[in-house]
Structure 1
Amino acid sequence: MKKVYCLYRVSTEKQGTENEIPMQKSECHKFVRQQGWMITKEFTEKVSGFQVPLQERKELFEILAAAEQRQFDILLVYSTDRLGRQVEFLPFYGQLEENNVQVWSTKEQRVSGTEHIDTLKQFIGLWMAEGESRKTSMRVKDTFTQLHEAGEYATGNAPYGYKKVDTGIKRNPNKPNTIKKIIIDENESEILKMIFNFAGNKGWGTPRIAKYLNENGFPNRKRKIWRTSSIYRILRNPVVIGRKPYQRSEKINMKNKKRKEYSYKEWKLQPFNPELVLIPEELFTKVQELTTNRGYEKKTDIPLNSNVLLSGIIYCGDCENKLRTDFSYSKRKGSDGNQEKVKAYRYRCYSPGHINHDGRKNYSAKQIDYAVSEMVKFAIKNVNIGSIQDAIKNYKSKEVVLNNQKLIEMENEKVSLERGLRNAENELEKFFMGQSKFNENRIVNMIESFETNLKKVNKEILIVQDEINDIQHKQIDIEALLTKLNQWSQIYEDSDFDTKKVIVGDLIEKVIVQNETIRIIYRTSFEGIFANRIQN
């Protein structure tokens, strides 16, 4: 009596709980009884036959080891795609055959043999199964993409500040699944607004925000402590301005689990949804700049982490070197009448002795900070609004229109290339069935050409999208000034020290001090709005 090993496989846990495994088992047992064989061992797998490679299928290696020891005569499966859906599995058949083990299926009967025609049949069968898996994967991806492009919920957890609710509406009346949607969570949204206020209006970094939330009794969604990485992800997520992101990563290869992580600038965004807006767009844009400038992507001179106003942007007028910050202790009488030590901060030039330096090297930080603050308040009160409107016109639609036209052309080209790639892949399938008028090399060359051109177009699309986003962000920044500048003077007057540092960092490129003279150089985006000022 022939000894039989049975292999049952499903792709997901869900399939395994919905009678898929019992059904395969029942059919295999029935087949064995009809043939008069005997089952000596059974294996069950819950892995993808397409995405999981052979070297990660431990049950198959156990079966091969048993075959080499002549422990069984037949490997029985419900259908051949239960073994796998990749042509790379073809050698597995050969190794079993070398050890006199036959592969049988309840659907296809015997599926292995020593003849060349058997090998060809197996190759074509596996190739077609792999193709079906690719098509299924593409259909699922296309379905999710269509949902995202329509602004609908597709899958996954709701981002922080939001919650997932069931609408009770069925997309397909013949299926039980109902449509879900994302709405604002009243409790989490208050903490989220606090996070953006700390980051944008006070200039706090993610470690300081996390520390504040943890020390003041604001647990995260899982009732655990906040991590800086979680704060960073919240600050980068444009869902707070009504644009939910998707495709933040993508599989490098359909046959394994490796993924390419995209930077936040490369994320695709759903259409604008006003129901999701929690944060003003100008605050979100400002937070992106501050977060980037903190060192995630590049260095900056914006003073965010010191006890003086101008750290990092104040220079010596004699030698043009950046001034450093230090302090000395002094004593003063406290409110209780006792002597107490206090820090007196100063800006100091540490230029080498060989550099010509005729002026002062030490400046009181308190005096310089006060003088610059007064100059900033004066500049804000006397701003030229007309020059801002001119700046808006300069950034207006001409450049955006040209880039949008270019983007439409590229998107059309992408659609054509994708259609051509699908046709070429279909032609390859016809070739294996003996129905194609093209030879194999020509079809493969066509596929490679379409894939190369498609990668090139996708890269060019990302570049143009970045250019459009940059122009739109500049427009947003300038337009925000119209409503913000009239309020800034009072905001600056009433702000805490952290907020003053952020405003100064937004406005000022550098401060140059030379003896009793202070000169402010404003940032490029404010040229023509503020006159560069000198105070003696």
Structure 2
Amino acid sequence: MMENRLMTGNRVDCLYRVSTDKQVDYNDKSQADIPMQRRECHRFCEKMGWTIVHEEQEDGVSGHKVRAENRDKLQIIKERAKQGKFDILLVFMFDRIGRIADETPFVVEWFVKNGIRVWSTQEGEQRFDNHTDKLTNYIRFWQADGESEKTSIRTKTALGQLVEDGGFKGGLAPYGYDLIKSGRFNKRKHEVFELAVNEAEAAVVRIIFDKYVHEGFGAQRIATYLNNLGYRARTGKMWHHASIRGIICNLTYTGVLRSGESRSQTLPHLQIIAPELFEAAQHIRTSRANSAEQERHVPLNTRGQSLLAGNVFCGHCGSRLALTTNGKAYPCKEDAHRIVKRVRYICYGKTRKQTECDGQTGYTAHILDGIIDKVVRQIFERMKAIPKSEIVNIRYREKMEERKALLKSAKSDYAKAAAELDTLRGEVIKALRGESAFSQELLSSLIADGEKKCLTIQHTMEAAQAAYDEGQVMLDALNAQYDDIISWADMYDSASMESKKMIVSCLIRRVEVYRDYRLHIDFNIDFEQFSAGLDISAIAA
């Protein structure tokens, strides 16, 4: 081969790299090219009397973010070095090899140890003859790494400031928006684009959030729902669940632009959904995550006609009750022409023999759901019968009394701990005089423990004080909570089963079922004044 006929010592492999696709040019054959680096390397080889035997180029590969083992072109050159196919690795500048301070210097050193001389057209040869050379090599790439960090920080800061000022940071417009020309130009003389709501797509976004929050649809179910109705994604293809998830997580639909940690003010002309609806969607999303499985208060799905999902447990062994059917069907009592399946909640621990459960194996779904339905309806009726001001003020006074008692207790504990600490510090003088029953070492240890105790109680006291001072915030939260509950009460009768399931999951944190349908219900919201006097056993009967 020609490579092997060339005089050993001047065979050159060239590596060209740019960090982004925008830095790539194209030749007359529409092939990607990096002409500036290529020309400089060719000119340098002619000057040195070297012969280029092989070239590799990396288009849009970050030398700061992508490590050497993940760069295919660099691995090809390393393999050629092992085979002795070239003598010199030539780059335009050394940072073309990489910009990672804890890696790139050792990549360069690897080539040198394997008999390859490493040259840059701008910086000469990198040698490793002594410790100074090694230090110079490390400092060079440490500086390059630092420049990349600075560039990254500058870019992030600039994008953050652009977003904070209400500008679009660039890229494709999110679904629900169009890009329109603003008439303004940036420093590169490129016209700047802005976002504008696409009403046709915005309607689909509202459907997605409505189904997700109010009816408990999951991403896959929403995608199927849209596809069945004939809606298509912007590409014209069928909706995919991953696209639905991306929309659900996108803060832009509330009219707030985001770039990293930076946020814009709410921009009313970009708002497609209310912030409260977005927050509800995020709460559902995190509640459905695997990490929240044991604390789940939101049903994983709302399919089927059962009212409870994920929040019903066996009162005897604590296992979750799972919904199942034995496949048998029976004529409906109300309509002899309709066949219904027998659906039951079964104790998962007992049926799988994971627990020693002495309760029932299962509970008929429509009986248990009927009890819960009656409880919810009666609570709603009682709430509607009492004026809002009375309910909210009662809860406000109760909460404030609780916080006042906690603050008083914390202050008392702090005063007691501080007095004990002062007493111990007073013993130090006595110990120095030899008059104390405690040794200096013991006193030092006791004082250190006392200081830690005081600091801990002080933090508790400060938190209690802050909670007590937030009375108005709590009052606003109670008002909002009441409005939510009343809106649920108004829509409950006419709501779909999916919506009812979501309402029940918002109201009820946990239902524990015992033999003969005896129930213990824990609510997400304090319904003590409304559930008092409710005889659940009588409702079950």
Q: TM-score range by the shorter chain?
A: 0.5 to 0.7
Q: Which amino acid aligns with 1:81?
A: D
Higher mean alpha-carbon deviation, 200-209 vs 521-530, is at 521-530
Question: Does the Cα contact within 8 Å between 2:41 and 2:90 map onto a contact in 1?
Answer: yes
Question: Does the Cα contact within 8 Å between 2:379 and 2:530 map onto a contact in 1?
Answer: no
In structure 1, what is the equivalent of residue 454 of structure 2? none
Q: Which has the larger radius of gyration?
A: 2
CA distance in 1, matches of 2:15, 2:512: 78
Q: How far is 1:375 from its partner? A: 1.6
Question: Does the Cα contact within 8 Å between 2:314 and 2:513 map onto a contact in 1?
Answer: yes
Q: Which amino acid aligns with 2:62?
A: S
In structure 2, what is the equivalent of residue 82 of structure 1? 96
Question: Does the Cα contact within 8 Å between 1:74 and 1:102 map onto a contact in 2?
Answer: yes
**Superposed, which structure 2 residues align to 1:40-119 within 5 Å?**
40-46=53-59, 47-63=61-77, 66=80, 71-87=85-101, 88-94=103-109, 96-97=111-112, 101-112=116-127, 114=129, 117-119=132-134
Q: How far is 1:93 from its partner? A: 4.6
Deviation string 1:502-535 (CA, Å, 9 cap, x unpaired) is 2233334567899999989572524366343515
In structure 2, what is the equivalent of residue 291 of structure 1? 285
| Inter-CA distance 80–285: structure 2 relative to 1 (3 Å threshold) | closer
| Inter-CA distance 190–124: structure 2 relative to 1 (3 Å threshold) | same
Q: Which amino acid aligns with 1:375?
A: Q
Query: Unpaired segments of 5 or more residues in structure 1?
Result: 248-266, 400-463
Question: Does the Cα contact within 8 Å between 1:9 and 1:44 map onto a contact in 2?
Answer: yes
In structure 1, what is the equivalent of residue 17 of structure 2? 9
CA distance in 2, matches of 1:302, 1:117: 63
Q: Give the SS at the match of 2:278.
A: helix
Q: Give the SS at the match of 2:129.
A: coil
**Superposed, which structure 2 residues align to 1:8-47 within 5 Å?**
8-17=16-25, 21-46=34-59, 47=61
In structure 2, what is the equivalent of residue 280 of structure 1? 274
CA distance in 2, matches of 1:313, 1:9: 56
Q: Give the SS at the match of 1:525.
A: coil
In structure 2, what is the equivalent of residue 378 of structure 1? 381
In structure 2, what is the equivalent of residue 388 of structure 1? 392
In structure 1, what is the equivalent of residue 169 of structure 2? 154
In structure 2, what is the equivalent of residue 183 of structure 1? 196
CA distance in 2, matches of 1:302, 1:516: 26
CA distance in 1, matches of 2:384, 2:212: 26
CA distance in 1, matches of 2:319, 2:90: 79
Q: Which amino acid aligns with 1:143?
A: A
Q: Which amino acid aligns with 2:392?
A: I
CA distance in 1, matches of 2:334, 2:174: 50
Q: How far is 1:86 from its partner? A: 4.0
> Normalising by structure 2, what TM-score?
0.65
Aligned pair 1:208/2:221, yes or no? yes
Question: Does the Cα contact within 8 Å between 2:81 and 2:114 map onto a contact in 1?
Answer: yes
CA distance in 2, matches of 1:105, 1:60: 16
Of residues 140, 150, 154 in structure 2, which corresponds to 1:139?
Answer: 154
CA distance in 1, matches of 2:315, 2:133: 86
CA distance in 1, matches of 2:316, 2:47: 100
CA distance in 2, matches of 1:512, 1:71: 74
In structure 2, what is the equivalent of residue 507 of structure 1? 507
Q: How far is 1:17 from its partner? A: 1.0
Q: Which amino acid aligns with 2:17?
A: R
In structure 2, what is the equivalent of residue 307 of structure 1? 305
| Inter-CA distance 479–228: structure 2 relative to 1 (3 Å threshold) | farther
Q: How far is 1:202 from its partner? A: 2.0
Higher mean alpha-carbon deviation, 325-334 vs 270-279, is at 325-334
| Inter-CA distance 7–319: structure 2 relative to 1 (3 Å threshold) | closer
Higher mean alpha-carbon deviation, 70-79 vs 308-317, is at 308-317
**Superposed, which structure 2 residues align to 1:62-461 within 5 Å?**
62-63=76-77, 66=80, 71-87=85-101, 88-94=103-109, 96-97=111-112, 101-112=116-127, 114=129, 117-172=132-187, 175-247=188-260, 269-299=263-293, 300=296, 304-310=302-308, 329-331=329-331, 339-343=337-341, 364=367, 368=371, 371-372=374-375, 374-386=377-389, 387-388=391-392, 391=395
Deviation string 1:463-514 (CA, Å, 9 cap, x unpaired) is x9xx99x999987764434545555444223322322332233334567899
CA distance in 2, matches of 1:356, 1:94: 71
Q: Which amino acid aligns with 2:388?
A: I
Question: Does the Cα contact within 8 Å between 1:507 and 1:526 map onto a contact in 2?
Answer: no
| Inter-CA distance 79–311: structure 2 relative to 1 (3 Å threshold) | closer
| Inter-CA distance 515–107: structure 2 relative to 1 (3 Å threshold) | closer
Question: Does the Cα contact within 8 Å between 2:227 and 2:238 map onto a contact in 1?
Answer: yes
Higher mean alpha-carbon deviation, 20-29 vs 109-118, is at 109-118
Q: How far is 1:191 from its partner? A: 1.2
CA distance in 2, matches of 1:514, 1:68: 73
Deviation string 1:130-162 (CA, Å, 9 cap, x unpaired) is 322222222222222333444432244333333
| Inter-CA distance 220–383: structure 2 relative to 1 (3 Å threshold) | farther
Q: Give the SS at the match of 1:298.
A: helix
> Normalising by structure 1, what TM-score?
0.65
| Inter-CA distance 72–334: structure 2 relative to 1 (3 Å threshold) | closer
Q: Which amino acid aligns with 2:331?
A: K
Deviation string 1:439-469 (CA, Å, 9 cap, x unpaired) is xxxxxxxxxxxxxxxxxxxxxxxxx9xx99x
Q: Size of the alignment, in residue pairs?
A: 442
Higher mean alpha-carbon deviation, 198-207 vs 186-195, is at 198-207
CA distance in 1, matches of 2:112, 2:486: 83
Q: How far is 1:22 from its partner? A: 1.8
Q: Give the SS at the match of 2:181.
A: strand
Deviation string 1:331-374 (CA, Å, 9 cap, x unpaired) is 36998xx74434576789999999699xx999846864664464
Higher mean alpha-carbon deviation, 340-349 vs 376-385, is at 340-349
Question: Does the Cα contact within 8 Å between 1:380 and 1:488 map onto a contact in 2?
Answer: no
CA distance in 2, matches of 1:294, 1:504: 16
Question: Does the Cα contact within 8 Å between 2:342 and 2:364 map onto a contact in 1?
Answer: no
CA distance in 2, matches of 1:301, 1:371: 20
Higher mean alpha-carbon deviation, 314-323 vs 180-189, is at 314-323
CA distance in 2, matches of 1:95, 1:245: 43
Higher mean alpha-carbon deviation, 524-533 vs 211-220, is at 524-533
In structure 2, what is the equivalent of residue 498 of structure 1? 498
